[in-house]
Amino acid sequence: MFEVVGFWWKTRRSWLAIKTLGLIVALSVLLLPGLGTANAQPNWTLDPTASVLTYQSVKKNTIVETNKIRNISGSLTSAGDAKVTFDLNSVDTGVDLRNVRMRFLFFETFKFPSAELTAKVDPAAFADLATKRRVKAVLPFRLNLHGVDKDLQANIVVTMISDNMVSVASEAPVAVHVEDFGLLPNVDKLQQAANVTNIVPTASVSFDFVFTADGSKSAAVQTVAASATDVGPVATDAAKTNFSDEECLNRFAVLSRTGAIYFRTASARLDTQSRPLLAEVVGVVGKCPGLKVEVSGHTDSDGSPVENKHLSERRAQAVADAIVAAGIPRTQITATGYGEDRPVAANDTPKNKALNRRIEFSATKLVN
- Per the model's pLDDT, the better-predicted residue between 29 and 268 turns out to be 268
Interacting residues of 43 by C-beta distance below 8 A, sequence separation 6+:
75, 76, 77, 78, 213, 214
Q: Interhelix angle for 184-194 vs 2-31, to 10°?
A: 150
* Domains of the chain, each with CATH number or no CATH: 2-237 (2.40.128.110), 245-365 (3.30.1330.60)
Query: Residue 28 pLDDT more than 80?
Result: no
Please write the tens of the pLDDT for every residue from 176-197: 889 999 999 998 898 889 887 7
Residues present in the chain in total: 368
Tell me how far apart the alpha carbons of residues 1 and 297 are, in angstroms, rounded to a whole number: 26
Return mean pLDDT, the chain. Answer: 84
Confidence of residue 120 (pLDDT cuts 50, 70, 90): confident
- Judged by average pLDDT, the poorest of 81-85, 221-225, 281-285 is 221-225
Mean pLDDT of 18-45: 51
Residue 106's pLDDT is 94
Mapped to the 3 state alphabet, what secondary structure does 279-327 carry? Answer: HHHHHHHHCCCCEEEEEEEECCCCCCHHHHHHHHHHHHHHHHHHHHHCC
Cβ pair 88, 109 in contact under 8 A:
yes
Residue 38's pLDDT is 39
Cβ pair 251, 243 in contact under 8 A:
yes
Confidence of residue 215 (pLDDT cuts 50, 70, 90): confident
Query: Residue 114 pLDDT more than 90?
Result: yes
Please write the tens of the pLDDT for every residue from 72-103: 999 988 888 889 999 999 999 999 999 999 99
Query: Residue 56 pLDDT more than 50?
Result: yes
Secondary structure (3-state) at 186: helix
Amino acid symbol at 201: P
Cβ pair 53, 74 in contact under 8 A:
no
Residue 69's pLDDT is 94
- Judged by average pLDDT, the poorest of 191-195, 336-340, 352-356 is 191-195
**What is the pTM assigned to this prediction?**
0.85
Cβ pair 257, 105 in contact under 8 A:
yes
Amino acid symbol at 333: I
Choose the most confident range, by mean pLDDT, from 95-109, 142-156, 212-226. 95-109
